Structure 1
Amino acid sequence: MEHHITIPCGELELAATLHYPTDKEEADCRGGSGKWPVIIICHGFIGNRIGVDRLFVKTARAFSSQGYMVLRFDYAGCGESTGDYGAEGLDAMITQTRRVLDYALSLDCVDSHQVVLLGHSLGGAVALLTAASDRRVRTLVMWSAVAHPHNDIVRIVGKDAYRQLEADKGIDHKGYLLTPVFFDSLSKHQPFEQLRKFGGDVLIAHGTADDDIPVDYAPLYQKMFWLRADGQCDLELIFQADHTFSNRDSTLTLIGKTSAWLLDLQKRKKEWYDWMI
């Protein structure tokens, strides 16, 4: 069952789609307490909640069939949400993500101890930065995640276009007006410096044929996460997958490995809990 909803965030209206578990037995098994775990999907740079080649639709439906509640949404100025993309920078995207968290956790059927943030590309960095400042996030999944927001987005936009950026104007990129405020905010946030603040478990997945965000970021992220005092971090490299995992095999492999990791994580936590008792 899927519901299209609108989540208020200040003066903004964030368009979202809520997927209820379609397998009630799986949902009861995963929730345990009669409530369901929730996965919130954060899309990437000038993206939307559908995703390239419907990646996030496929992901949400796959996870809902496995007993998860899934919430995917459009950041301001993207998809069907109101507002202008990046108008208030990365800080606003973190605020919007936290507002979506508020909404998800206001639902009586959601287990507040099983909250997963799944972010793709720039959304991966936003998910990490949100998790670092919000203890309600228990698990983090990062697909093709940006590591150096300013440099990575400038490379995608193009250095020549970026050089045309003026203090009182923005630059047009595929119909989106990117302002100095947006680029300044990208410089302000450094995921590698913030990740130690998140003590939960992390899965990093990246395609080996990613031409947009270097696959070398993935093992570096894992190394940095392993330096934390708490939480584990696992890495999955998807062979020959591009930035958006756009072919069928890449999509199925990505979703399958992510699902298996979440299931294994849940199993290990249950075994640890039983051992402690």
Structure 2
Amino acid sequence: MATRKSTKLRIPHSQDDCELVGILEQLVPEEPTQGRKIAMILHGSLGHKDYLFQKRLAQRFPMDSFRFDFRGNHESGGKRTQSGIGRDVEDLVVVVSYLRSTYGYEIDVVVGHSRGSVVGIYWMCTSEEGQRARAMVNVSGRYRMDRIHKIYKGQWDAKGYYERTLTVARQTVVERVYPEDLVTFSQWNTAIVWDKFPAQVDVLTMHGLHDKTVPAYDAVLYSRALGARTPGTHNLHLIDEADHNFTNRQDEVVDCILEWWDALNQRRLKTGIFMTGVRGKL
């Protein structure tokens, strides 16, 4: 009987002369991968490839998948900055190119959380491979980038930057955020989604109604931008009492994505609110 296989890959990155580290999940590793479809799973700010629901989803998704650490995060080399969304897009381009040239994979769906959603959406809007993809899952994605200023308002010290200490993958990480980082971050063009997002891609947007990092109204804005396309559909799923990271609700996120994916493959999707039969309650 064929069994799922997890393989750690180290992908060279010429920009920082470093490696991007990720996990390739294969359902039938003994079969050829040329032309096979794959899911790309992207983590958010100061996250990593096994953060939150990412690993759980990868191990249950009915398709090969790849999840990796962006530059400067967890096991990947290079430097991370708050303003480096463009660098994250470069990382995704490098990874997609490697999976295509080494294995023959074609990206079928992108699942992103928070910053990873912003990166995935932009990649779909601007890359040839993204234009050929079939689906996108946008979890806690930020649309109004300028709202980042409210998070750091009044927190600059005499040194001219804000420093915070966090625990990422059980390791202590010290991050410095400079005012110029926020300016660059706030100017990132999410409005590209209105005109450049591929028309055929089906999208699921998920958001917690108690999200204090990215207000749930950003999910409504994505619904407006993506809900008028054809033949692609857009579904919105809001989770009551869930925060930005879906604390203690991550299995619910995975269940919802898998149920939506099943509906997509059965061609049962219509643009509108998506309610699950697994945990949905009135």
Q: TM tier, shorter chain? A: 0.7 to 0.9
Counterpart of 1:5 (choices 4, 9, 26) is: 9
Structure 1 contact 192–221 (Cα < 8 Å) conserved: no
Aligned to 2:272: none
Q: After superposing the two structures, state which structure 1 stretch, 72-81 or 204-213, moved more.
A: 204-213
Counterpart of 1:77 (choices 69, 72, 76) is: 72
Deviations 1:73-110 (A, max 9, x none): 11111111111112872211111111111122234463
Counterpart of 1:15 (choices 16, 21, 25) is: 21
Aligned to 1:225: 226
Matches within 5 A, 1:1-277: 1-10=5-14, 11-21=17-27, 36-52=36-52, 55-63=53-61, 66=62, 68-86=63-81, 89-108=84-103, 110=105, 112=106, 114-137=107-130, 138=133, 139-152=135-148, 154-156=149-151, 158-162=152-156, 166=160, 170-174=161-165, 175-179=174-178, 182-199=181-198, 200-228=201-229, 231-247=232-248, 250-268=249-267
Kindly tell me: are residues 78 and 192 of structure 1, through their superposed partners in 2, closer, same or farther at Cα, counting changes over 3 Å? Answer: same
Q: After superposing the two structures, state which structure 1 stretch, 70-79 or 186-195, moved more.
A: 186-195
Report the CA distance between 1:224 and its aligned residue. Answer: 1.3
Kindly tell me: are residues 182 and 16 of structure 1, through their superposed partners in 2, closer, same or farther at Cα, counting changes over 3 Å? Answer: farther
Calculate percent identity across the aligned residue pairs. Answer: 24
Q: 2 CA distance for matches of 1:72 and 1:151? A: 28
Aligned to 1:274: none
* Counterpart amino acid of residue 163 in structure 2: D
Structure 2 contact 34–103 (Cα < 8 Å) conserved: no
Deviations 1:207-249 (A, max 9, x none): 12222211121122111112345522111112322211221xx
Kindly tell me: are residues 147 and 21 of structure 1, through their superposed partners in 2, closer, same or farther at Cα, counting changes over 3 Å? Answer: same
Give unmatched runs, 5+ long, in structure 2: 166-173, 269-282
Kindly tell me: are residues 119 and 78 of structure 1, through their superposed partners in 2, closer, same or farther at Cα, counting changes over 3 Å? Answer: same
Task: Provide the secondary structure at the position in 2 that maps to 1:258.
Answer: helix
Kindly tell me: are residues 164 and 121 of structure 1, through their superposed partners in 2, closer, same or farther at Cα, counting changes over 3 Å? Answer: farther
Task: Provide the secondary structure at the position in 2 that maps to 1:106.
Answer: helix
Task: Provide the secondary structure at the position in 1 that maps to 2:41.
Answer: strand
Q: 2 CA distance for matches of 1:176 and 1:2? A: 31
Alignment length, in residue pairs?
249
CA RMSD in angstroms, aligned pairs only: 2.8
Report the CA distance between 1:192 and its aligned residue. Answer: 2.7
Deviations 1:119-163 (A, max 9, x none): 1011111111111101312121100111123423x344x212258
Task: Provide the secondary structure at the position in 2 that maps to 1:39.
Answer: strand
Normalising to structure 2: TM-score of the pair? 0.78
Kindly tell me: are residues 87 and 219 of structure 1, through their superposed partners in 2, closer, same or farther at Cα, counting changes over 3 Å? Answer: closer
Kindly tell me: are residues 230 and 188 of structure 1, through their superposed partners in 2, closer, same or farther at Cα, counting changes over 3 Å? Answer: farther
Kindly tell me: are residues 102 and 23 of structure 1, through their superposed partners in 2, closer, same or farther at Cα, counting changes over 3 Å? Answer: closer
Q: 2 CA distance for matches of 1:230 and 1:263? A: 18
Structure 1 contact 118–142 (Cα < 8 Å) conserved: yes
Report the CA distance between 1:180 and its aligned residue. Answer: 5.1
Q: After superposing the two structures, state which structure 1 stretch, 203-212 or 178-187, moved more.
A: 178-187
Q: 2 CA distance for matches of 1:164 and 1:178? A: 13
* Counterpart amino acid of residue 188 in structure 2: H
Structure 1 contact 196–225 (Cα < 8 Å) conserved: no
Task: Provide the secondary structure at the position in 2 that maps to 1:115.
Answer: strand
Q: 2 CA distance for matches of 1:149 and 1:177? A: 19
Give unmatched runs, 5+ long, in structure 1: 270-277
